[in-house]
Structure 1
Amino acid sequence: MGLCDERVVIVTGGGRGLGRAHALAFAAEGAKVVVNDLDVGLDGRVSGGGAAADVVAEIRAAGGEAVAHGGDIASEQGAATLVRIALETYGRLDTLVNNAGFLRDRMLVNLTETDFDAVLRVHVKGHFLPLRHAAAYWRTETKEGREVVGRVVNTTSGAGLLGSVGQANYAAAKAGIVGLTLVAAAELARYGVQVNAIAPAARTRMTERAYGDLAALPEDVSPLVVWLGSAASAGVTGRIFEAEGGRLTVMEGWQAGPTADKGTRWTPAEAGETALKLLASATPPGPVYGA
């Protein structure tokens, strides 16, 4: 018996790297997997290969069940057909893993509007649209009296939590995914859906240029993703986890720190003096990657 027996799982960006590892790991635990991949290069330009079909073939060769989807999940049509293929092929949807993305790294002064928009589109919109279509399905199931044990695992990054030099677009997108995760967790709980996010560190084609000596593998991250995507994670929602190699960390986000209340409006000089006093007793933020 696998941890995800009979669960139907969608993995976006499932043709390579982390997504491929997640898809194979879910299948090994008994899930029926919809492997989505548009098959693009590191910069998001379509390369025209068959990455999703290759992963499906791997899963089937090992005795599992899987189907490929090659649509653009950052488009309304692509996201709609992604959820539809799960329902038409397997009759249900239990888990959505949002993983698809690409990079267009530039220092801020060299970053074009096109490259900024493209990265936000694939990461933020590419999370939002599949999530919205999956959520609509789960809401309907709940309204019709059927029990839902829905799971969503989003993919953020240390860049979105701490920032990363040369990745203003990527960091902004990944920070947005954290906000989306928190809101979705709060809104979808009434439908039996849990929403969490991971900030993975692993050696993939997206990270090899920046972290070529990184020893952690995509397969090291997938066990946590499988557990979060299973019924066994009951009660865990609205959380962000870092995963690297054998290390798992629960990330603790913005919390109220030192505070001062004058009871009336500050003057600019008073506000500045008070801010400096508060900062002196506050916990320093983590360093920006690459700084």
Structure 2
Amino acid sequence: MDMDFKGRVAIVTGAGGGLGRQHALALARRGAKVVVNDLGGARDGSGASVSAAEAVVNEIREAGGEALANGASVTDFAAVQAMVQQAMTAWGRVDILVNNAGILRDKSFAKMDLADFALVMNVHLMGAVHCTKAVWDIMVAQKHGRIVMTTSSSGLYGNFGQSNYGAAKMALVGLMQTLAIEGAKNNIRVNCLAPTAATRMTEGLMPEEVLRALQPEAVVPAMLVLASQDAPTRTILCAGAGSFEAANITLTTGVHLGTGEGVPELLASRLSEVTQRTGEMVPQSGSAQGSNEIALAMAQSGKQAVA
């Protein structure tokens, strides 16, 4: 796999600290020119300062790399478009987008203010949509693009107190699934990274010894693979503490029960068969569900015809 990023231009959002900073530094070390974007706010999204982004840019430049700082909020599409234009003016292309920016507003759903739910959705989901939309036509014209969405185990599997964050992170998986299909003909590969890392976002959420094991640097190899020339597409890569896994959204083989008055009771009585995971598949598009259902129905009607 080609892990050389010379001649490539990358935009990393939320790159003023934590995981984003490590992403930006790693891409720059391997030859990429990097736009280091960071609003510079607190982890709940309040405040703003470009100083964090500028500090990372200085690190990259001191190591001999090329980088630009940008303080746009990913929730502001006009500011995001200006950020992309900044990269185009300086370097003439954008090859890699790492959608890493995020905030937390954790509370149980019962106690959560809807404004906090909406804000987290806006930063994580619409922030990634804004950045991706701003680079999409450029990547289509180049016939090359690598987009990494940052999902989370909280979205994939749930986590108490993070209904807003989890909903946003799972929404990014759905976005990735469709964009990977739409981008395929133009060599735009879209993937998700599910990191487990000790950053400002996780302070106070884990014991100290666990935090020490979960250094952000350990997640970076997964990002580099997903952003590389030979990257996969439609892959959810999980990473933490030097370990790597892949998550999949699967479909069981299912059972045909037909239609009619008694089907709800029949489904309830045979639910364990429906949820049986032996032989499950990873659909290549949403149409696979319908295709499977029709195939089961046709097979059943064939059996009845023979009988």
State TM-score, norm by structure 2.
0.85
**More displaced, 56-65 or 264-273?**
264-273
Q: Partner of 2:214 in structure 1?
A: 216
Aligned residue in 1 for 2:229: 231
1:41 corresponding residue in structure 2: 42
Between 9-18 and 266-275, the greater mean CA deviation after superposition: 266-275
CA distance in 2: counterparts of 1:266 and 1:252, whole angstroms: 35
Distance in 2, Cα, partners of 1:277 & 1:231? 42
Structure 2 unaligned residues grouped into runs of 5+: 279-307
The answer as to 2:155 corresponding to 1:157 is no
Q: How does 1:1-291 map to 2 (within 5 A)?
A: 3-48=4-49, 50-139=51-140, 141=141, 147-212=142-207, 213-214=210-211, 215-233=213-231, 236-253=232-249, 255-265=250-260, 267=262, 268-279=264-275, 281-282=276-277
Distance, in Å, in 1 between the alignment partners of 2:274 and 2:125 is: 34
Letter in 1 for 2:271: A
Q: Per-residue deviation at 1:113?
A: 0.7
Deviation of 1:149 after TM superposition, in Å, equals 2.4
Q: CA deviation at 1:166?
A: 0.5
Give, as a single letter, the amino acid of the residue that structure 2 aligns with 1:264. T
2: CA distance between counterparts of 1:201 and 1:119?
19
Contact 1:2 1:28 in 2 (8 A): no
CA apart distance, 1:40 = 0.9
Deviations, residues 153-186 of structure 1 (Å, cap 9, x unaligned): 1100000100111000000000000001111101
CA displacement 1:102-139 (0-9 Å, x = unmatched):
10000010011100000000000011111011112222
Shift of 1:271: 2.5
3-state SS of 1:185 partner: helix
Which runs of at least 4 in structure 1 moved beyond 3 Å after TM superposition? 276-279
Identity %: 40
Distance of 2:171 and 2:270 partners within structure 1: 30
Instruction: Tell me which amino acid in the other structure corresponds to 1:148.
Output: K
Q: Which amino acid aligns with 1:129?
A: H
Distance 1:120 1:273, change over 3 A: same
Aligned to 2:305: none
Q: What is the distance in 1 between the residues matched to 2:97 and 2:115?
A: 28
Between the aligned partners of 1:38 and 1:135, the Cα distance in structure 2 is 22
How many equivalent pairs are there?
A: 273
- 2:261 & 2:192 partners in 1: Cα distance? 39
What is the distance in 2 between the residues matched to 1:118 and 1:198?
22
Deviation at 1:77, TM superposition (A): 0.8
How far the C-alpha of 1:208 sits from its partner, in A, is: 2.2
Distance 1:4 1:219 in 2: 18
In 2, the alpha carbon distance for the partners of 1:32 and 1:134 equals 16
Instruction: Out of 206-215 and 170-179, give the one that drifted further.
Output: 206-215
Question: Which is higher, the Rg of structure 1 or of structure 2?
Answer: 2
Q: 1:288: which partner in 2?
A: none
Is contact 1:153-1:225 (8 Å) kept?
A: yes
Question: Kindly tell me: are residues 59 and 2 of structure 1, through their superposed partners in 2, closer, same or farther at Cα, counting changes over 3 Å?
Answer: farther
Shift of 1:47: 4.3
- Structure (1/2) with the larger helix percentage: 2
Contact 1:10 1:95 in 2 (8 A): yes
Decide whether aligned partners of structure 1 residues 202 and 275 sit closer, same or farther in structure 2, where only a CA change above 3 A counts: same
